Amino acid sequence: MRVYALAGDGTRRELQVEEFWPHKGRLVLKFAGVDSMNDAEMLSGCELQVPRGERAGLEAGWTYISDLVGCTVFDREREVGRVTDVQLGAGEAPLLIVQAGSKSYDIPFAEAYLAKVDQGKKKVHMVLPDGMLDVNAPLTAEEKREQGGYPKRRGD
């Protein structure tokens, strides 16, 4: 199996999976030519990528995270915005970075909020808790003044 290791600086390295095995609830991969701990440490923090044409098929109801980029997110029937990125490692669930005009929202891609993913139509239907989109909404001018971000007007 071929995978690519994407480093934080944007460099990619092709790797061949030589063998793999489960260990403490995780999967350990042994790559050809990576024969020491020093060699393996150089891959620490890399994102492993599988070429789209070589990915395994998924069961109904499952979605590859990378397929979410470009999808439109809906909260019930209201359009929220388009997924521009997905961040992993920020918590239990991946975070969808959703852009709506000048606003940006971080929305957990959690099963508890997910109604359906329509991959063919590039739509993600969610049922978000009331107020979730307000948590990281841009501050109003008044809120910025209250936090000291804008000079106060006379009489404020």
78-121 residue pLDDT tens: 999 999 999 887 677 889 999 998 889 999 999 899 999 998 89
7 class by beta-carbon count within 10 Å (0-12 exposed, 13-18 middle, 19+ buried): middle
pTM across the whole model: 0.65
CB distance 84 to 97 below 8 Å: yes
Bridge partners of 21, per DSSP, are 28
CA distance 6 to 12: 5
Domain boundaries along the sequence of the chain? 2-52, 66-135
What confidence tens digit (pLDDT) does each residue in 14-47 have? 999 999 999 998 888 999 999 998 999 989 888 8
Which pLDDT band, with edges at 50, 70 and 90, does 152 fall under?
very low
Q: What's the average model confidence in pLDDT over 5-18?
A: 93
Edge-to-edge strand ranges of the sheet holding 78-87? 103-108, 95-100, 78-87, 72-75, 123-126, 114-118
CATH of 66-135, picked from 2.30.30.240, 3.40.50.920, 3.20.20.60, 3.90.226.10, is 2.30.30.240
The token pair at 80 is 């929220």
DSSP 3-state assignment of 101?
A: coil
